[in-house]
Amino acid sequence: MPNQELIRQNKQFEKDVVEIAPGIWMAIGFALSNVFMIEGQLSVTLIDTTESTAAAEEILAAFRKITRKPIERIIYTHGHRDHICGTTVFAPDETVPIYASASFASDMLGIDANEIRPLEALFWRSQAQFAMGLDPEVSQSHGAGPATRPLEGLGAGFMPPNRFVTDRMELDLDGVRAELVPAPGETEDHMVVWLPDHKLLFGADNWYHAFPNLYSPRGTAFRDYGKWVSSLALMEEFEAEILAPGHTLPVIGAENVREVLSSTRAAILHVMRATTDLMNKGASMDEIATSVTLPPELAEKPWLKEFYGKVSWCARGFAQGTLGWYDGNPTSLGFIAPHTRAERMADMAGGVAKLLAQAKATDDLQWKLELVDHLILLGQPVEDMKIDAMEALAELEINAIARNNYLWEAERLRQGRARDGKSHSGIAA
C-alpha cells in the first residue's frame, strides 16, 4: 500500500471549480497546476493556462458555465510548462494581452543555437518525476497535483507573452484593481498577483501545501533559496486574507496565510543555516544529505510534509549550489570509475558470489540498491532485485517525486528500456 499521508494529500487537488472570492474562481484538479478566472465588468482575466490543450478545454467549458464574458487578458505567473501550455484554447487570437515578468524564461521559447543543454537527460528525468507512461493508478499522486488528468495536447497550446512587467505594476482588470509584482523564488521569473480590494494574493509556486521543491531531481539550474525566502517575506507584507497558490487548495484567513508563509520561510532558512554550518565544518555531501532535518515544530506542520520537495535533496542542492560539487576533502578531487569500484567491492566481499549473497541478505533497501548497482556493472542478471527494491521503497515514500522515480525506473528496467526511451537493442520502445 502507498504511503497513506501521500494519498491523503490528493484531497488538496480534487477536481473542482471553486469561487474563492466574489467573482474569482479557481479550477483545481484538472491538471498539474491551477487556473484562475477573475470576472470584470465586461470581460474576464485568466491567471495561468495549465499544461495541455485538453485540460484547458475542460477548464474553459467549466468556466463558460459561470460566465460568457470574453477573455481579454492573461497573466503568466512564471514560465514552467504546466502553467502556460493551454493558452491557445483560451485566447481568441494573438492580440490578447499576455502579461509576464520581464525576466520570463521558458523552454517553450526555444533554445539558443549556441546553448548546450542535456535535453535527453532532462526529458527522461522529467518523465520519471511525473511517472509518464505509467497508469495513474500505479503512480497515484504527483504530490502537488493529480496523477490522473488529460495529457492530450501536452505543451501544445503555448503563446509567448507580449506585455512585460519590470517592477511592481498596477493593472485594471476591467474594474478589478490588481498589482503585478515580480517575486523570484521557485524560478527567477516568478510574479505574484495582488488584488487589494479582495485582500487576495495569487502566490504562484512560491508556496503550496508541501515542503517546497527547492531542488528538483528532474534537473534544474540552482534555485536561489535566499531570493525565495525574500519573496515569502514580501508575500507576508501584503497581509492577505486569501492565498491562492499555483498548486493545491487556497489558504483562507489572514492568520492562516501569515502562518503558512512565515513557517515555510523559517523552514527554508533552517535548511540554509544547517547546511552552511555543516559545510563550514567540512562535511561531505552525503553527510549533509543525511544530517539536515527540520526541527519538530516545523516538521509537524501539514503544509511542510515532504510530499513534493525533500529536505535532504534541498540541503544537498544548497551545498552544491553555493560551493559546487567539491566538499573540501582532497579525496574527492580524484575519481574511480564505477566499474572499477564495483570490481573492488566484489574483491572486498570475497568475490562476486559473496557480494550477491550480501545484496540478497540485507534488509536495508538503500544498501541493497547500491550493492545491486555494483553487480549490474559486473554483468550479473540482478535487475529483478533492483526492481523489487525500488518498488518496495516506493511504497514507503511520502514524497511523490521519489515514489514516481522508483516506479518509473522499475518499469523501465522491467521492459529493458534505456533512459532515452530506446530499448537496449536500440529499438524505440
pLDDT of residue 400: 97
Number of domains in the chain: 1
**pLDDT per residue as tens digits for the range 239-253:** 999 999 999 999 999
Residue 412 clears pLDDT 90, i.e. is over it: yes
Q: Using the 8-state DSSP alphabet, how is residue 246 labeled?
A: S
Is 12 within 8 Å of 34 (Cβ atoms)?
A: no
> Residue 395: inside a domain, yes or no?
yes
Domain with residue 356: its CATH number is 1.25.40.880
> Residue 377: inside a domain, yes or no?
yes
Which residues is 242 bridged to in the sheet? Answer: 200, 252
> Residue 405: inside a domain, yes or no?
yes
Give me the mean pLDDT over the 353-373 stretch. 98
Mean pLDDT of the chain: 94
Give Dmax (Cα) for the chain: 79
> Residue 60: inside a domain, yes or no?
no
Q: What's the rounded Cα separation, in Å, for the pair 9 and 400?
A: 10
**pLDDT per residue as tens digits for the range 220-276:** 888 999 999 999 999 999 999 999 999 999 999 999 999 999 999 999 999 999 999
Residue 287 clears pLDDT 90, i.e. is over it: yes
> Residue 284: inside a domain, yes or no?
no
Give me the mean pLDDT over the 57-65 stretch. 98
pLDDT of residue 118: 87
**pLDDT per residue as tens digits for the range 72-112:** 999 999 999 999 999 999 998 889 999 999 999 998 988 77
| Per-residue pLDDT band at 417 (split at 50, 70, 90) | confident
pTM beyond 0.85, yes or no = yes
Range of the domain at 352: 332-415
pLDDT of residue 420: 59
> Residue 213: inside a domain, yes or no?
no
Give me the mean pLDDT over the 326-353 stretch. 96
Residue 427 clears pLDDT 50, i.e. is over it: no
More confident residue, 357 or 416: 357
Give me the mean pLDDT over the 122-144 stretch. 93
Q: What's the rounded Cα separation, in Å, for the pair 92 and 248?
A: 28
Distances (CA, A) of 179 to 176, 258, 368: 10, 20, 53
pLDDT of residue 111: 73
pLDDT of residue 428: 27
Give me the mean pLDDT over the 333-339 stretch. 96
> Residue 46: inside a domain, yes or no?
no
pLDDT of residue 429: 29
> Residue 80: inside a domain, yes or no?
no
